[in-house]
Structure 1
Amino acid sequence: MTPEQAKNLLDLMVQGKDFDVGVDAGAALMLADVALQIDQPERADLLINHAIKLAKETDDKDQLAWALLTKSRITNDGDALSEAGEIIAVSEDDWLRSAYNNQSGIHALETGDIPAAKAAFAQSLALKEMLEDKVGQANTLYNLGEISREEENIEQAKAFHARCVDLLEELEDRKGMVNGLAILGHLEAVDKNVDGAIIHYEAALEIAESEEDFEGTVVCRWGLAEMARTMNDHDLELQHLSQVMVGFMQLGRPTPEPIKDRLNELADTIH
């Protein structure tokens, strides 16, 4: 759906504070996400509150929990998350429980409670595996991998991100694979495994270039330049950094000063 189509849909279904009769709680939550995608947070908040009101009127506990989870996800409202948790504790909907655990993990991360985040994501992952929710599994593995990376548990971070990349390959999410492989390259570099880093960066670069993913290409070439520098291969480092500079130009962004400085150093060294 294009932004223009999304706006037209919202205009059709929501006028001011009035809603089309067809906008039930489920539709309101779907429209709230649409509103966020086109940067209309006030309309999204209105739709979520409408969904909460309808769910309470019909005494639909699971729908109310979904609405409260959506409110928590969008506004980082801890009270809404707690209220949803009370409902979910007696729910038999595993998809709902999985979503709750995932949102609890995100909320715990944002409040700095890392142990709680890890526990919530682990519970969410177990449910997602049971539900065969591969997209959800990939997202949760990414979060667990990033927590491990922050904790400098490199081996665990590599394990989580490798599983994430495998799922992204199954899902044919090639841009996601670029990011995942680049993260693995960085983790191998931190672990001083230059050959392993190069393998992952090159695999990511091949996909990035085939997908015309300029940002991914820049990240991969920058990583490969760092590996060339580690090996004292100035010609190869210059080649990659020159391509990084071109990438920033294609993205319409200024080349970072450290890259320009290093290019000048290499020019002096080589010549």
Structure 2
Amino acid sequence: MAMAPVLSILTNSISIFALVFLSSLPHLSLCFKPRSFNHSAVQSDWSSGGATWYGSPNGYGSDGGACGYGNAVEQAPFSSLVSAGGPSLFKSGKGCGACYQVKCNDNAACSGNPVTVAITDECPGGPCVAEAAHFDLSGTAFGAMAISGQADQLRNAGVLQIQYRRVPCNYPGRNVAFHVDAGSNPYYLSVVVEFEDGDGDLTGLDLHQASSSPTSDSKDWISMQQSWGADWKLNSGSTLEPPFSFKLTSDSGKTLVASNVIPTGWQPGATYRSVVNFKT
């Protein structure tokens, strides 16, 4: 018999056997499904919402408000371009730090140009609950949507209809920082997390004690609880052992480890800056 027919018969036999074998193992079909990725909450399309403003006309709303950022809201990189968020944006504090572009076209003073703001406060009542999404902007951020020289005219508009979309946060030259609450002590640690690039907000924060190089999959991470706004706490019941490392989990499920960012000899009320940030 010639070799070509023999090879053909062998090939066909192997193919038939493979098909029969695979069909008898239906659970293997999972191996061939497309991999699903957890994308960030960034939006390409614009949505409709409402906007008001609070505080002074050229101010920053309030000192951190319900997120706990303190006077950082008036300083770079926030630079007063901040907003209190209605319930769908504030998310009981889990929305603190998220970034949005806002723009308006329904008023003669609107420039139509987008302005990027970060959620740093809560807007709990009034028009903030009357719409699916409402931004109570700082006076500075509200005026930034106006044509040059017409910011005051725009601020007289009352409730303004706007377009908004979620965008990545980007703080050039800044890394994630941890502000230790003044009430922290050797048994209780409370920190406000600031300046996360990318999603900007967190769904989880874990602490690792006294380790030179903790890894993301280490077994010794301790989950912290969201205390309020961007503040996370751990009440250990025993002495905490610095230096402290943190594992951050962003809104889209990305993780980031800031190793040994709070040192031995740390002080309540101090801010400690890491050397890492999420990629945008």
- Tell me, yes or no, whether TM beats 0.5: no
Q: TM-score, normalised by structure 1?
A: 0.19
Report which structure shows greater RCO (CA 8 Å, sep ≥6).
2
Q: TM-score, normalised by structure 2?
A: 0.19
More helix by share: 1
Structure (1 or 2) with the larger CA radius of gyration = 2
More strand by share: 2
